[in-house]
Amino acid sequence: MNKKSGTSKSSADRLVKTIRRKTRQTYSSEEKIRIVLAGLRGEESISALCRREGISESLYYSWSKEFLEAGKRRLSGDTARQATSPEVKELRSEALALKECVADLTLENRLLKKGMTGAGEFEK
């Protein structure tokens, strides 16, 4: 009987973990900034803020550290932005299409110029 209750307890624990993992709330960057700024204002304690927002204090402090480090990097002049791979691919394909368009227009322009000067020479 002990073995059955232990097995059902472990399966119940796994089920609870799975449910928690699937229902875990994800916060947008704006929400994280709002929460961190509320904590930095100091109008209420960090523990009260975390209880109200439904996050752990360690999560708040990690967001706060990331926020302050990003601000420090920005103020020290590190303005380089990391582009995501899909964004880079999209920009490269757009640049290639624009280069092809410029090449076509340049070729057409040269042909028209040659046609105009060539026709003018033969008429004289």
Looking at the fold, whether 49 and 93 belong to one and the same domain comes out as no
| pLDDT value of position 4 | 53
| pLDDT value of position 81 | 65
Whether 16 maps to a domain, the answer reads no
Tokens encoding 66: 């990331």
The CATH number of the domain where 31 resides is what? 1.10.10
Whether 111 maps to a domain, the answer reads yes
| pLDDT value of position 119 | 58
* Successive 10-residue mean pLDDT values, the chain, 124 residues: 62 86 83 94 94 93 94 79 77 94 94 81 50
What is the spatial distance between Cα 63 and Cα 36, in angstroms, rounded to a whole number?
A: 7
Whether 17 maps to a domain, the answer reads no
Looking at the fold, whether 31 and 71 belong to one and the same domain comes out as yes
Residues present in the chain in total: 124
Residue from 10, 88, 92, 25 nearest 59 by CA: 25
Looking at the fold, whether 69 and 30 belong to one and the same domain comes out as yes
Q: What letter would DSSP give residue 42?
A: T
DSSP string, 10-39: HHHHHHHHHHHHHT-----HHHHHHHHHHH
Whether 3 maps to a domain, the answer reads no
Domain hosting 92: range is: 85-124
